[in-house]
């Protein structure tokens, strides 16, 4: 494993500190708990307080810290676990799972990582309302609703039509229960974002803070640069072996872009297999590499000493055969992968992103034999509260979708 020299030096201390906790397969205490916080009544009086989580991105590049505010929402670092039973079924002995489904107490998945930066930026700009976009069952929408409300923001969701399903229904109910205002935009997510940008530009007084679809932007992507450096620390600490490849869902692409950049910075020779789960227009190779350049340029605008990392095409492989009928539309292979994950590892996946991503991994099983493979579970496994919400609380077009069946 060859680390970028500067990144390795900055991360070395963090790799040594807390190795025992990471290797136990459990997430560390949330960074929100200050070092002086009293221990629970059940804890030993002599037990040390939990260490504050400092993102490896900020330790490796401390010049970013003054200009990159962060709200400690997550339970980081997330564990890496062997998927022994699933590995046996798939004939991939070296199969591991990055448990980003446990990234937050209220809601897990990759969106929690990104919202740490977005909500901190919104607070720094003295914004009171958060607006974000997605399809009816958007994970971005429900995560923003939950964490935004908890941080005192009013949250508005501009949502576009999506094929109804129990997954979509649950996300809508949870977002509304959290207090989000939901508006339907029939022209699609891109139109919703364009309308919101025009409204914000012409707003009198304090404009709302716009979180882009999927949280994919240079700012949001840095959360997954950090995630890659987190993984590098876990590899360095012996928590898991160096992956030959990582399978990750690619929707609006920011997570895959950030992960690939972070691996490049850490010097890990690991291939990112980005599994297309959205339209080719949303997730094209050209947009991917353009977004990577924008992310590096943004980081360097905050800290000119940030490395001028460049992604080669050997770093990323685009898996494009599992989209099926389109975004949010289930596939047979995806549904089989969801059932297999539940049966073997008790993992809860969903049909839009993670089911299709695992299906791509399983389809590649023959070529993956003998390799160390990491499945990045970007779906939240936290239970969502949906009680007490009525169909009348939604715009008319959504009432049939959320009504009890």
Distance of CA 367 to the CA centre of its chain: 27
Give the DSSP H/E element, type plus range, for residue 154: strand 154-160
pLDDT given for residue 205 in this prediction: 73
- Rounded CA separation 160/230 (Å): 34
Asked if residue 273 is part of any domain, the answer here is yes
Asked if residue 282 is part of any domain, the answer here is yes
- As a whole-number percent, the residues of the chain with pLDDT over 70 amount to 87
Asked if residue 181 is part of any domain, the answer here is no
Residue 249 has pLDDT above 60, yes or no: yes
Q: Is the peptide bond before 77 cis (omega within 30 degrees of 0)?
A: yes
Asked if residue 401 is part of any domain, the answer here is no
pLDDT given for residue 52 in this prediction: 80
The mean pLDDT value for 177-205 works out to: 85
The range of the structural domain enclosing residue 251 comes to 75-110+216-376
pLDDT given for residue 192 in this prediction: 80
Burial 54-84 (b: 16+ CB within 10 A, else e): ebbbbbbbeebbeebebbbbbbbbbbbbbbe
Give the number of domains in the chain.
1
What is the average pLDDT value for the chain, to the nearest integer?
Answer: 88
The phi-psi region of residue 109 (left if phi > 0; otherwise alpha if psi is between -120 and 50; otherwise beta) is left
Residue 56 has pLDDT above 90, yes or no: yes
Asked if residue 258 is part of any domain, the answer here is yes
Q: Token digits for 405? A: 């069946």
Q: Token digits for 277? A: 């789960």
- Rounded CA separation 372/395 (Å): 47
pLDDT given for residue 202 in this prediction: 72
Residue 132 has pLDDT above 80, yes or no: yes
Q: Using alpha carbons, list the distances in angstroms from residue 168 to 55, 375, 392.
A: 32, 23, 17
Asked if residue 335 is part of any domain, the answer here is yes
Asked if residue 300 is part of any domain, the answer here is yes
Q: Token digits for 261? A: 């950049």
CATH number for the domain that contains residue 264 = 3.40.50.1100
pLDDT given for residue 360 in this prediction: 98
Choice between 52 and 140, residue whose per-residue pLDDT is larger? 140
Task: Confirm if 403 and 164 have CB atoms less than 8 A apart.
Answer: no
Strands (E), 216-290: 245-250, 271-276
Residue 5 has pLDDT above 60, yes or no: no
The phi-psi region of residue 18 (left if phi > 0; otherwise alpha if psi is between -120 and 50; otherwise beta) is left
pTM: 0.86
Asked if residue 271 is part of any domain, the answer here is yes
The mean pLDDT value for 321-339 works out to: 96
Read off the DSSP letter of residue 165: -
Handedness of CA 366, 368, 373, 375 (dihedral sign): negative
- Rounded CA separation 229/235 (Å): 10
């Amino acid at each position: 494993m060859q680390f970028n020299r500067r990144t390795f030096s900055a991360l070395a201390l963090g790799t040594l500190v807390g190795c025992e906790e990471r290797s136990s397969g459990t997430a560390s205490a949330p960074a929100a708990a200050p070092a002086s916080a009293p221990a629970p009544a059940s804890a030993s009086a002599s037990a040390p307080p939990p260490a504050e989580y400092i993102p490896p991105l900020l330790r490796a590049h401390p010049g970013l810290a003054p200009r990159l505010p962060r709200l400690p929402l997550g339970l980081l670092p997330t564990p890496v676990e062997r998927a022994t039973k699933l590995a046996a079924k798939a004939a991939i002995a070296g199969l591991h799972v990055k448990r980003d489904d446990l990234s937050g107490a209220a809601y897990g998945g990759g969106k929690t990582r990104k919202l740490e930066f977005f909500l901190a930026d919104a607070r720094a700009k003295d914004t009171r309302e958060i607006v974000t976009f997605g399809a009816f069952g958007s994970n971005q929408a429900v995560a923003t609703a939950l964490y935004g409300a908890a941080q005192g923001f009013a949250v508005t969701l501009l949502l576009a039509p999506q094929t109804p399903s129990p997954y979509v229904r649950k996300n809508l109910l949870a977002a509304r229960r959290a207090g989000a205002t939901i508006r339907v935009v029939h022209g699609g997510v891109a139109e919703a974002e364009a309308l919101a940008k025009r409204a914000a530009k012409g707003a009198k007084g304090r404009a709302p803070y716009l979180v882009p679809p999927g949280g994919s932007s240079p700012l949001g992507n840095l959360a997954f640069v950090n995630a890659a450096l987190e993984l590098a620390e876990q590899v360095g600490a012996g928590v898991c072996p160096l992956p030959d490849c990582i399978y990750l869902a690619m929707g609006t692409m920011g997570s895959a872009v950030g992960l690939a950049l972070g691996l490049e910075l850490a010097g890990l020779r690991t291939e990112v297999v980005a599994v297309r789960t959205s339209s080719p227009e949303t997730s094209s190779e050209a947009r991917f590499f353009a977004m990577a350049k924008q992310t590096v340029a943004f980081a360097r605008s905050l800290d000119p000493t940030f490395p001028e990392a460049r992604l080669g095409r050997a770093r990323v492989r685009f898996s494009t055969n599992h989209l099926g009928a389109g975004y949010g539309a289930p596939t047979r292979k995806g549904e089989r992968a969801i059932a297999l994950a539940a049966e073997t590892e008790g993992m809860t996946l969903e049909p839009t992103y993670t089911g299709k991503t695992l299906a791509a991994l399983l389809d590649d099983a023959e070529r993956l034999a003998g390799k160390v493979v990491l499945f990045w579970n970007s779906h939240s496994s936290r239970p969502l509260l949906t009680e007490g919400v009525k169909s009348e609380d939604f715009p008319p077009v959504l009432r049939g979708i959320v009504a009890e069946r």
